[in-house]
Structure 1
Amino acid sequence: MPATERCLSPSEGNKAIGGIPNMHYFDFKSRGRGNVIRLLWEDAQIAYDDTRYTFEEYPKYKESTITKLNPATTIPVIEIDGQILTQSYAIIRHFARQLGKYDGQTEEAKYWADAICDIVADWRTLFIQAFFNERQAETYPKHQQGDRNRFLTALETHLKSHDLSRSGPYITGKDITYADFVLYQILHDEDLIQDGGNGLQDYSRLKQQVDAVEGRENIKAFMASKRYRG
Protein backbone atom coordinates (compact mmCIF):
# COMPACT_ATOMS: atom_id res chain seq x y z
CA MET A 1 0.00 0.00 0.00
CA PRO A 2 1.25 3.50 -0.77
CA ALA A 3 2.12 5.54 2.32
CA THR A 4 0.82 9.09 2.80
CA GLU A 5 2.53 11.57 5.13
CA ARG A 6 1.32 15.07 6.07
CA CYS A 7 4.22 17.50 5.82
CA LEU A 8 4.37 20.97 7.43
CA SER A 9 1.46 22.97 8.85
CA PRO A 10 -1.15 24.91 6.84
CA SER A 11 -0.09 28.47 6.08
CA GLU A 12 -1.06 31.56 4.11
CA GLY A 13 0.59 29.84 1.16
CA ASN A 14 -2.02 27.09 1.33
CA LYS A 15 -4.76 29.71 1.11
CA ALA A 16 -3.05 31.18 -1.96
CA ILE A 17 -2.97 27.84 -3.78
CA GLY A 18 -6.44 26.73 -2.69
CA GLY A 19 -5.83 24.08 -0.07
CA ILE A 20 -3.51 21.26 0.93
CA PRO A 21 -2.12 19.43 -2.12
CA ASN A 22 -1.64 15.68 -2.19
CA MET A 23 1.18 14.52 -4.44
CA HIS A 24 1.30 11.00 -5.85
CA TYR A 25 4.87 10.03 -6.70
CA PHE A 26 7.46 7.28 -6.50
CA ASP A 27 9.16 6.50 -3.21
CA PHE A 28 12.42 7.53 -4.86
CA LYS A 29 14.10 9.13 -1.86
CA SER A 30 14.21 12.92 -2.33
CA ARG A 31 14.80 12.62 -6.02
CA GLY A 32 13.12 13.12 -9.35
CA ARG A 33 10.59 15.57 -10.71
CA GLY A 34 8.39 15.12 -7.65
CA ASN A 35 11.03 16.52 -5.36
CA VAL A 36 11.26 19.67 -7.48
CA ILE A 37 7.69 20.41 -6.36
CA ARG A 38 8.48 19.49 -2.76
CA LEU A 39 11.34 22.01 -2.76
CA LEU A 40 8.96 24.80 -3.78
CA TRP A 41 6.44 23.79 -1.13
CA GLU A 42 9.11 23.52 1.54
CA ASP A 43 10.59 26.89 0.66
CA ALA A 44 7.15 28.54 0.68
CA GLN A 45 6.15 26.61 3.84
CA ILE A 46 3.09 25.04 2.25
CA ALA A 47 1.55 22.04 3.98
CA TYR A 48 1.24 19.02 1.70
CA ASP A 49 0.38 15.34 1.71
CA ASP A 50 3.11 13.15 0.29
CA THR A 51 1.80 9.85 -1.16
CA ARG A 52 4.63 7.56 -2.19
CA TYR A 53 4.52 4.36 -4.25
CA THR A 54 7.28 1.80 -4.29
CA PHE A 55 8.54 0.85 -7.73
CA GLU A 56 7.28 -2.69 -7.11
CA GLU A 57 3.70 -1.71 -6.25
CA TYR A 58 3.37 1.13 -8.74
CA PRO A 59 2.30 -0.98 -11.78
CA LYS A 60 -0.76 -2.16 -9.82
CA TYR A 61 -1.80 1.36 -8.85
CA LYS A 62 -0.88 2.74 -12.25
CA GLU A 63 -3.67 0.66 -13.77
CA SER A 64 -6.21 1.78 -11.18
CA THR A 65 -5.62 4.88 -9.05
CA ILE A 66 -3.23 6.76 -11.35
CA THR A 67 -5.15 6.03 -14.55
CA LYS A 68 -8.28 7.53 -12.99
CA LEU A 69 -6.35 10.64 -11.98
CA ASN A 70 -4.31 11.01 -15.16
CA PRO A 71 -5.15 9.15 -18.38
CA ALA A 72 -1.51 9.55 -19.47
CA THR A 73 -0.60 7.40 -16.41
CA THR A 74 2.40 9.53 -15.49
CA ILE A 75 3.35 10.90 -12.09
CA PRO A 76 3.66 13.20 -10.22
CA VAL A 77 -0.05 13.86 -10.02
CA ILE A 78 -1.40 16.48 -7.63
CA GLU A 79 -4.88 16.46 -6.08
CA ILE A 80 -6.00 19.78 -4.61
CA ASP A 81 -9.45 21.17 -3.90
CA GLY A 82 -11.10 18.79 -6.37
CA GLN A 83 -8.58 19.58 -9.11
CA ILE A 84 -6.11 17.21 -10.73
CA LEU A 85 -2.77 18.68 -11.83
CA THR A 86 -0.31 16.83 -14.06
CA GLN A 87 3.08 17.46 -15.72
CA SER A 88 5.69 18.42 -13.14
CA TYR A 89 7.05 21.61 -14.67
CA ALA A 90 3.57 22.91 -15.53
CA ILE A 91 2.61 22.15 -11.91
CA ILE A 92 5.50 24.07 -10.39
CA ARG A 93 4.92 27.05 -12.71
CA HIS A 94 1.24 27.00 -11.74
CA PHE A 95 2.03 27.20 -8.03
CA ALA A 96 4.67 29.88 -8.61
CA ARG A 97 2.06 32.06 -10.32
CA GLN A 98 -0.50 31.44 -7.61
CA LEU A 99 1.99 32.44 -4.93
CA GLY A 100 2.96 35.56 -6.84
CA LYS A 101 6.66 34.72 -6.64
CA TYR A 102 9.16 32.15 -7.89
CA ASP A 103 8.20 33.07 -11.46
CA GLY A 104 10.42 36.05 -12.27
CA GLN A 105 9.60 39.69 -11.66
CA THR A 106 9.96 40.86 -15.28
CA GLU A 107 9.19 39.35 -18.66
CA GLU A 108 12.91 38.93 -19.27
CA ALA A 109 13.29 37.05 -15.97
CA LYS A 110 10.28 34.86 -16.74
CA TYR A 111 11.74 33.98 -20.12
CA TRP A 112 15.18 33.21 -18.68
CA ALA A 113 13.74 30.98 -15.95
CA ASP A 114 11.65 29.12 -18.54
CA ALA A 115 14.65 28.74 -20.87
CA ILE A 116 16.88 27.22 -18.18
CA CYS A 117 14.03 24.94 -17.10
CA ASP A 118 13.64 23.68 -20.66
CA ILE A 119 17.37 23.00 -20.95
CA VAL A 120 17.25 20.99 -17.73
CA ALA A 121 14.18 19.10 -18.99
CA ASP A 122 16.19 17.99 -22.04
CA TRP A 123 19.04 16.91 -19.77
CA ARG A 124 16.72 14.99 -17.44
CA THR A 125 15.24 13.02 -20.35
CA LEU A 126 18.71 11.80 -21.32
CA PHE A 127 19.61 11.11 -17.70
CA ILE A 128 16.54 8.91 -17.23
CA GLN A 129 17.22 7.03 -20.45
CA ALA A 130 20.75 6.25 -19.31
CA PHE A 131 20.14 5.62 -15.61
CA PHE A 132 16.95 3.54 -15.80
CA ASN A 133 18.34 1.25 -18.45
CA GLU A 134 18.77 -2.50 -18.48
CA ARG A 135 22.38 -1.85 -19.52
CA GLN A 136 22.93 0.87 -16.90
CA ALA A 137 26.53 -0.24 -16.22
CA GLU A 138 27.25 0.69 -19.83
CA THR A 139 24.81 3.52 -20.57
CA TYR A 140 25.17 5.65 -17.44
CA PRO A 141 28.97 6.06 -17.49
CA LYS A 142 28.68 6.95 -21.17
CA HIS A 143 26.04 9.55 -20.26
CA GLN A 144 28.24 10.97 -17.49
CA GLN A 145 31.15 11.49 -19.86
CA GLY A 146 29.02 12.73 -22.73
CA ASP A 147 25.62 14.37 -22.33
CA ARG A 148 26.05 15.24 -18.64
CA ASN A 149 29.29 17.11 -19.23
CA ARG A 150 27.77 18.83 -22.26
CA PHE A 151 24.84 20.17 -20.24
CA LEU A 152 27.04 21.16 -17.31
CA THR A 153 29.26 23.19 -19.60
CA ALA A 154 26.29 24.79 -21.35
CA LEU A 155 24.56 25.78 -18.11
CA GLU A 156 27.77 27.07 -16.56
CA THR A 157 28.32 29.23 -19.63
CA HIS A 158 24.73 30.50 -19.61
CA LEU A 159 24.85 31.53 -15.95
CA LYS A 160 28.23 33.20 -16.30
CA SER A 161 27.31 35.14 -19.43
CA HIS A 162 23.69 36.27 -19.00
CA ASP A 163 23.21 39.72 -17.45
CA LEU A 164 20.50 38.57 -15.05
CA SER A 165 22.47 35.53 -13.89
CA ARG A 166 25.53 37.69 -13.25
CA SER A 167 23.56 39.96 -10.92
CA GLY A 168 23.11 37.41 -8.12
CA PRO A 169 23.46 33.77 -7.11
CA TYR A 170 20.22 32.51 -8.64
CA ILE A 171 19.31 31.94 -12.29
CA THR A 172 17.68 35.37 -12.58
CA GLY A 173 20.05 37.03 -10.16
CA LYS A 174 18.91 38.05 -6.68
CA ASP A 175 15.43 36.47 -6.75
CA ILE A 176 14.92 32.72 -6.66
CA THR A 177 12.56 31.20 -9.23
CA TYR A 178 11.01 27.79 -9.71
CA ALA A 179 13.76 27.09 -12.26
CA ASP A 180 16.36 27.20 -9.48
CA PHE A 181 14.66 24.19 -7.89
CA VAL A 182 14.53 22.44 -11.28
CA LEU A 183 18.24 23.02 -11.84
CA TYR A 184 19.17 22.12 -8.27
CA GLN A 185 17.28 18.83 -8.50
CA ILE A 186 19.02 17.53 -11.62
CA LEU A 187 22.38 18.35 -10.08
CA HIS A 188 21.25 16.49 -6.95
CA ASP A 189 19.95 13.48 -8.88
CA GLU A 190 23.16 13.20 -10.88
CA ASP A 191 25.02 13.08 -7.51
CA LEU A 192 26.98 16.23 -8.28
CA ILE A 193 26.22 18.21 -5.12
CA GLN A 194 26.88 15.56 -2.50
CA ASP A 195 30.14 15.51 -0.51
CA GLY A 196 30.32 19.27 -0.39
CA GLY A 197 29.60 19.73 -4.07
CA ASN A 198 32.74 17.92 -5.13
CA GLY A 199 31.12 17.03 -8.45
CA LEU A 200 30.91 20.72 -9.33
CA GLN A 201 34.53 21.63 -8.62
CA ASP A 202 34.97 22.68 -12.26
CA TYR A 203 31.69 24.59 -12.36
CA SER A 204 31.98 27.49 -9.94
CA ARG A 205 28.82 29.31 -11.08
CA LEU A 206 26.65 26.20 -10.71
CA LYS A 207 28.20 25.62 -7.28
CA GLN A 208 27.27 29.19 -6.33
CA GLN A 209 23.67 28.52 -7.34
CA VAL A 210 23.56 25.26 -5.36
CA ASP A 211 24.98 26.95 -2.26
CA ALA A 212 22.37 29.71 -2.54
CA VAL A 213 19.49 27.23 -2.75
CA GLU A 214 20.80 25.08 0.11
CA GLY A 215 21.46 28.18 2.21
CA ARG A 216 17.82 29.24 2.24
CA GLU A 217 16.37 28.86 5.74
CA ASN A 218 13.44 26.60 4.86
CA ILE A 219 15.45 24.46 2.42
CA LYS A 220 18.15 24.02 5.04
CA ALA A 221 15.49 22.90 7.54
CA PHE A 222 14.05 20.46 4.98
CA MET A 223 17.48 18.96 4.26
CA ALA A 224 18.01 18.44 8.00
CA SER A 225 14.57 16.85 8.55
CA LYS A 226 13.29 13.31 8.20
CA ARG A 227 11.27 14.50 5.22
CA TYR A 228 14.53 14.67 3.26
CA ARG A 229 15.55 11.13 2.31
CA GLY A 230 18.79 11.63 0.48
Structure 2
Amino acid sequence: MPTTKIFGTESAANKAIGGIPTIHYFDFLSRGRGQVVRLMLIDAGAAYKDVRYSFDEYPEQKQTGVIAKMNPTGNVPIVEMPDGKILTQSYPILRHWSRLFGAYDGKTEEEKYFADVICDIVIDWRTLFLAAFFSANKAEDYPKHKSGKRKHFLDALERHLKSNDLSSRGPFVIGKEITYADLVLFQIMHDEELTRDGKKELQNYPRLAQLASAVEGRPNVKAFLESDAYLG
Protein backbone atom coordinates (compact mmCIF):
# COMPACT_ATOMS: atom_id res chain seq x y z
CA MET A 1 0.00 0.00 0.00
CA PRO A 2 1.25 3.52 -0.73
CA THR A 3 2.17 5.77 2.20
CA THR A 4 0.39 9.10 2.64
CA LYS A 5 1.57 12.13 4.62
CA ILE A 6 0.63 15.79 4.75
CA PHE A 7 3.35 18.44 4.81
CA GLY A 8 3.09 22.13 5.60
CA THR A 9 0.23 24.38 6.64
CA GLU A 10 -2.40 25.67 4.24
CA SER A 11 -1.43 29.16 3.12
CA ALA A 12 -2.08 31.90 0.59
CA ALA A 13 0.05 29.89 -1.83
CA ASN A 14 -2.49 27.07 -1.64
CA LYS A 15 -5.31 29.51 -2.32
CA ALA A 16 -3.47 30.68 -5.45
CA ILE A 17 -3.36 27.16 -6.93
CA GLY A 18 -6.79 26.01 -5.77
CA GLY A 19 -6.18 24.29 -2.46
CA ILE A 20 -3.97 21.53 -1.07
CA PRO A 21 -2.72 19.28 -3.90
CA THR A 22 -2.14 15.54 -3.56
CA ILE A 23 1.05 14.39 -5.25
CA HIS A 24 1.26 10.77 -6.40
CA TYR A 25 4.85 9.68 -6.98
CA PHE A 26 7.44 6.99 -6.37
CA ASP A 27 8.99 6.42 -2.98
CA PHE A 28 12.30 7.66 -4.40
CA LEU A 29 13.78 9.58 -1.46
CA SER A 30 13.81 13.35 -2.19
CA ARG A 31 14.61 12.79 -5.82
CA GLY A 32 13.17 12.74 -9.30
CA ARG A 33 10.71 14.63 -11.45
CA GLY A 34 8.09 14.36 -8.73
CA GLN A 35 10.40 15.91 -6.16
CA VAL A 36 10.79 19.12 -8.14
CA VAL A 37 6.98 19.49 -8.02
CA ARG A 38 7.18 19.18 -4.24
CA LEU A 39 10.13 21.57 -4.18
CA MET A 40 8.12 24.37 -5.80
CA LEU A 41 5.37 23.95 -3.22
CA ILE A 42 7.94 23.90 -0.42
CA ASP A 43 9.60 27.08 -1.68
CA ALA A 44 6.22 28.80 -2.09
CA GLY A 45 5.16 27.82 1.43
CA ALA A 46 2.24 25.67 0.29
CA ALA A 47 0.92 22.57 2.04
CA TYR A 48 0.60 19.33 0.09
CA LYS A 49 -0.42 15.72 0.56
CA ASP A 50 2.27 13.24 -0.43
CA VAL A 51 1.30 9.77 -1.68
CA ARG A 52 4.31 7.54 -2.38
CA TYR A 53 4.31 4.22 -4.23
CA SER A 54 7.11 1.71 -3.96
CA PHE A 55 8.75 0.60 -7.19
CA ASP A 56 7.38 -2.89 -6.54
CA GLU A 57 3.74 -1.80 -6.31
CA TYR A 58 3.91 0.76 -9.12
CA PRO A 59 3.46 -1.71 -12.05
CA GLU A 60 0.12 -2.91 -10.72
CA GLN A 61 -1.03 0.65 -10.00
CA LYS A 62 0.00 1.63 -13.51
CA GLN A 63 -1.93 -1.25 -15.07
CA THR A 64 -5.17 -1.36 -13.11
CA GLY A 65 -4.87 0.83 -10.00
CA VAL A 66 -5.46 4.45 -9.09
CA ILE A 67 -2.61 5.69 -11.30
CA ALA A 68 -4.12 4.03 -14.37
CA LYS A 69 -7.46 5.65 -13.59
CA MET A 70 -5.98 9.15 -13.24
CA ASN A 71 -3.48 9.22 -16.10
CA PRO A 72 -3.89 7.41 -19.44
CA THR A 73 -0.10 7.10 -19.81
CA GLY A 74 0.25 5.54 -16.38
CA ASN A 75 3.14 7.89 -15.58
CA VAL A 76 3.84 9.78 -12.37
CA PRO A 77 3.93 12.34 -10.89
CA ILE A 78 0.22 12.93 -10.90
CA VAL A 79 -1.27 15.83 -8.97
CA GLU A 80 -4.84 15.62 -7.73
CA MET A 81 -6.46 18.97 -6.92
CA PRO A 82 -9.34 19.39 -4.41
CA ASP A 83 -11.78 20.26 -7.22
CA GLY A 84 -11.05 16.94 -8.92
CA LYS A 85 -8.74 18.35 -11.58
CA ILE A 86 -5.86 16.02 -12.45
CA LEU A 87 -2.50 17.49 -13.42
CA THR A 88 0.15 15.40 -15.20
CA GLN A 89 3.67 15.94 -16.62
CA SER A 90 6.13 17.53 -14.19
CA TYR A 91 7.30 20.55 -16.10
CA PRO A 92 3.88 21.66 -17.40
CA ILE A 93 2.70 21.42 -13.78
CA LEU A 94 5.53 23.74 -12.73
CA ARG A 95 4.72 26.21 -15.50
CA HIS A 96 1.00 26.07 -14.69
CA TRP A 97 1.59 26.78 -11.00
CA SER A 98 4.09 29.50 -11.89
CA ARG A 99 1.36 31.34 -13.77
CA LEU A 100 -1.07 30.89 -10.87
CA PHE A 101 1.51 32.06 -8.33
CA GLY A 102 2.48 34.99 -10.53
CA ALA A 103 6.10 33.97 -9.92
CA TYR A 104 8.75 31.42 -10.92
CA ASP A 105 8.30 32.13 -14.64
CA GLY A 106 10.03 35.40 -15.42
CA LYS A 107 8.35 38.68 -16.25
CA THR A 108 9.48 39.38 -19.80
CA GLU A 109 9.28 37.15 -22.83
CA GLU A 110 13.09 37.01 -22.87
CA GLU A 111 13.15 35.77 -19.27
CA LYS A 112 10.44 33.18 -19.93
CA TYR A 113 12.26 31.97 -23.03
CA PHE A 114 15.59 31.50 -21.27
CA ALA A 115 13.98 29.67 -18.35
CA ASP A 116 12.37 27.32 -20.89
CA VAL A 117 15.73 26.80 -22.61
CA ILE A 118 17.42 25.71 -19.39
CA CYS A 119 14.51 23.44 -18.49
CA ASP A 120 14.61 21.73 -21.88
CA ILE A 121 18.33 21.08 -21.57
CA VAL A 122 17.74 19.49 -18.18
CA ILE A 123 14.97 17.30 -19.62
CA ASP A 124 17.49 15.88 -22.11
CA TRP A 125 20.05 15.40 -19.34
CA ARG A 126 17.57 13.69 -17.01
CA THR A 127 16.48 11.23 -19.71
CA LEU A 128 20.07 10.04 -20.14
CA PHE A 129 20.72 10.06 -16.40
CA LEU A 130 17.76 7.78 -15.71
CA ALA A 131 18.70 5.42 -18.52
CA ALA A 132 22.16 4.99 -17.03
CA PHE A 133 21.11 5.00 -13.37
CA PHE A 134 18.46 2.32 -13.82
CA SER A 135 20.41 0.34 -16.41
CA ALA A 136 20.68 -3.41 -15.93
CA ASN A 137 24.40 -2.77 -16.43
CA LYS A 138 24.59 0.24 -14.10
CA ALA A 139 28.09 -0.61 -12.85
CA GLU A 140 29.42 0.21 -16.31
CA ASP A 141 26.79 2.50 -17.80
CA TYR A 142 26.53 5.04 -14.98
CA PRO A 143 30.28 5.80 -14.77
CA LYS A 144 30.30 6.21 -18.56
CA HIS A 145 27.38 8.62 -18.26
CA LYS A 146 29.16 10.69 -15.60
CA SER A 147 32.31 11.11 -17.65
CA GLY A 148 30.49 11.49 -20.96
CA LYS A 149 26.97 12.89 -21.34
CA ARG A 150 26.79 14.35 -17.83
CA LYS A 151 29.99 16.29 -18.39
CA HIS A 152 28.62 17.50 -21.74
CA PHE A 153 25.50 18.91 -20.07
CA LEU A 154 27.44 20.46 -17.20
CA ASP A 155 29.79 22.17 -19.66
CA ALA A 156 26.88 23.44 -21.75
CA LEU A 157 24.86 24.74 -18.80
CA GLU A 158 27.87 26.44 -17.25
CA ARG A 159 28.55 28.18 -20.54
CA HIS A 160 24.90 29.23 -20.94
CA LEU A 161 24.77 30.75 -17.47
CA LYS A 162 28.10 32.53 -17.79
CA SER A 163 27.38 34.01 -21.20
CA ASN A 164 23.74 35.08 -20.85
CA ASP A 165 23.10 38.71 -19.92
CA LEU A 166 20.18 37.77 -17.67
CA SER A 167 22.17 35.18 -15.70
CA SER A 168 25.02 37.61 -15.13
CA ARG A 169 22.74 39.76 -12.94
CA GLY A 170 22.40 37.30 -10.09
CA PRO A 171 22.65 33.73 -8.89
CA PHE A 172 19.59 32.37 -10.68
CA VAL A 173 18.87 31.54 -14.32
CA ILE A 174 17.37 34.97 -15.06
CA GLY A 175 19.33 36.88 -12.43
CA LYS A 176 17.96 37.80 -9.02
CA GLU A 177 14.50 36.20 -9.31
CA ILE A 178 14.10 32.44 -8.98
CA THR A 179 12.22 30.54 -11.69
CA TYR A 180 10.93 27.01 -12.07
CA ALA A 181 14.03 26.36 -14.20
CA ASP A 182 16.28 26.93 -11.18
CA LEU A 183 14.36 24.27 -9.27
CA VAL A 184 14.56 21.87 -12.22
CA LEU A 185 18.29 22.44 -12.60
CA PHE A 186 18.93 22.16 -8.87
CA GLN A 187 16.99 18.90 -8.70
CA ILE A 188 19.00 17.16 -11.41
CA MET A 189 22.26 18.29 -9.78
CA HIS A 190 20.94 16.99 -6.48
CA ASP A 191 19.88 13.66 -8.00
CA GLU A 192 23.28 13.23 -9.65
CA GLU A 193 24.78 13.87 -6.17
CA LEU A 194 26.61 16.96 -7.36
CA THR A 195 25.37 19.05 -4.42
CA ARG A 196 26.95 16.78 -1.80
CA ASP A 197 30.24 17.18 0.08
CA GLY A 198 30.47 20.93 -0.33
CA LYS A 199 29.69 20.61 -4.05
CA LYS A 200 33.21 19.33 -4.69
CA GLU A 201 32.13 17.79 -7.99
CA LEU A 202 31.02 21.25 -9.13
CA GLN A 203 34.39 22.86 -8.44
CA ASN A 204 34.96 23.27 -12.18
CA TYR A 205 31.47 24.74 -12.57
CA PRO A 206 31.37 27.79 -10.29
CA ARG A 207 28.26 29.27 -11.89
CA LEU A 208 26.28 26.06 -11.40
CA ALA A 209 27.58 25.79 -7.83
CA GLN A 210 26.44 29.38 -7.20
CA LEU A 211 22.94 28.57 -8.47
CA ALA A 212 22.70 25.40 -6.37
CA SER A 213 23.77 27.32 -3.26
CA ALA A 214 21.24 30.05 -3.97
CA VAL A 215 18.40 27.51 -4.19
CA GLU A 216 19.57 25.72 -1.04
CA GLY A 217 19.75 29.06 0.78
CA ARG A 218 16.13 30.01 0.23
CA PRO A 219 14.46 29.96 3.67
CA ASN A 220 11.80 27.32 3.03
CA VAL A 221 14.14 25.10 1.03
CA LYS A 222 16.85 25.40 3.67
CA ALA A 223 14.37 24.42 6.40
CA PHE A 224 13.23 21.44 4.33
CA LEU A 225 16.77 20.22 3.66
CA GLU A 226 17.47 20.36 7.41
CA SER A 227 14.23 18.56 8.35
CA ASP A 228 13.22 14.92 8.74
CA ALA A 229 11.04 15.35 5.63
CA TYR A 230 14.21 15.48 3.52
CA LEU A 231 15.08 11.90 2.67
CA GLY A 232 18.33 12.38 0.74
Which TM-score band (shorter chain)? over 0.9
Unaligned runs of 5+ in 1: none
Name the residue aligned to 1:36.
36
> In the alignment, residue 175 of structure 1 is paired with which amino acid?
E
Shift of 1:57: 1.3
Give the TM-score, by structure 2 length. 0.98
Distance 2:207 2:21 in 1: 34
Give how far 1:62 is off. Answer: 1.5
Q: Which residue of 1 aligns with 2:131?
A: 129
1:177 equivalent in structure 2: 179
In structure 2, distance between residues paired with 1:86 and 1:22: 12
Partner of 2:221: 219
Unaligned runs of 5+ in 2: none
Give the one of 86, 89, 110 matched to 2:88: 86
Q: Give matches, 1:50-65, under 5 Å.
A: 50-63=50-63, 64-65=65-66
Q: Which amino acid is 2:183 matched to?
A: F
2:98 paired with 1:100? no
Give percent identity, aligned residues only: 60
The match for 1:188 is 190
TM-score (norm 1): 0.99
- In structure 1, what residue type is equivalent to 2:39? L
Residue 188 (structure 1) shift: 0.4
Indicate the residue corresponding to 2:74 in structure 1: 73
C-alpha distance in structure 2 between counterparts of 1:58 and 1:116, whole Å: 30
Aligned to 2:8: 8
CA distance in 2, matches of 1:202, 1:37: 29
CA distance in 2, matches of 1:142, 1:135: 11
Q: Which letter maps to 1:86?
A: T
- CA distance in 2 between partners of 1:28 and 1:194 (Å): 17
RMSD over aligned CA atoms reads 0.6
Structure 1 stretches of 4+ moved >6 Å: none
- Residue aligning to 2:168: 166
Give the Cα separation in 1 of the matches to 2:198 and 2:158.
Answer: 18
